[in-house]
Amino acid sequence: MDQTVAARIEAIMRDPDQQTAVLAAIEQSVYWTSNPCANASFTWLPSITIFDVVRFNAQGQPVAGTWREGIFESGCGTSQQLNVANYVTAPGKVHVTSMLPGTTVTGPAMQASAINNAAYAAGVLHGSCDVWFISNTELVGPEGPATADGLQSYKEYWTVNACGTLKRTVLHFQNLEGNRTRIRVDLNETTTLQQ
């Protein structure tokens, strides 16, 4: 990433109003509303993930782009990486929304699609539990060889909290031509971590 762009994004992330918006987005997330904690402390993580190229105008204001920002939450028994997506909506305006916790590399749109795959693998879509959420994601790494075009498939673990029972599902992401991704789950790969 260009050092000027990185410095400008970092300046946005350090702005107190932007940090307030980030915390507000986290507090509205399904993860947080299911795990509220008054004693939480937050540490901004140093790395970001760019989803759409971030561009700035001559005045140094962001005019386009989307990126993920990670915040480490601690002080509540278990520590967790929480994530938000930052969308530039107008020159100098950045909108923040919550994303899934953990280390998934999926973008906002892919997360929305993959949640149902994880829920299916965990058996909650048609089960008796009507209160479930993704409590963690973990990038496992590449899966299989890259294609001739350089497309690399990968695997992630997504933990579903289904009425207090934690089920780890395995999601296989196959990157295809045309900026498409196929998601595959196998019910036999789902394991119960805690009941």
Summarised one tens digit per residue, pLDDT across range 48-80 is: 899 999 999 999 899 999 999 999 999 988 889
Please check whether residue 156 is in contact with residue 173, taking contact to mean a CB–CB distance below 8 angstroms.
yes
Q: Where are the domains of the chain?
A: 3-98, 108-194
Q: Identify residue 66 by its one-letter amino acid code.
A: T
Mean pLDDT of the 153-181 span: 93
Residue 161: closest CA among 124, 112, 110: 124
pLDDT of residue 1: 64
How high is the mean pLDDT of the chain? 91
Residue 111 has what pLDDT?
A: 93
Q: Which residue has the higher pLDDT, 85 or 47?
A: 85
Which of the residue ranges 2-6, 101-105, 153-157 would you say has the lowest mean pLDDT?
2-6
Q: Is the pLDDT of residue 127 over 90?
A: no
User: Given a cut of 70, is residue 158 above it in pLDDT?
Assistant: yes
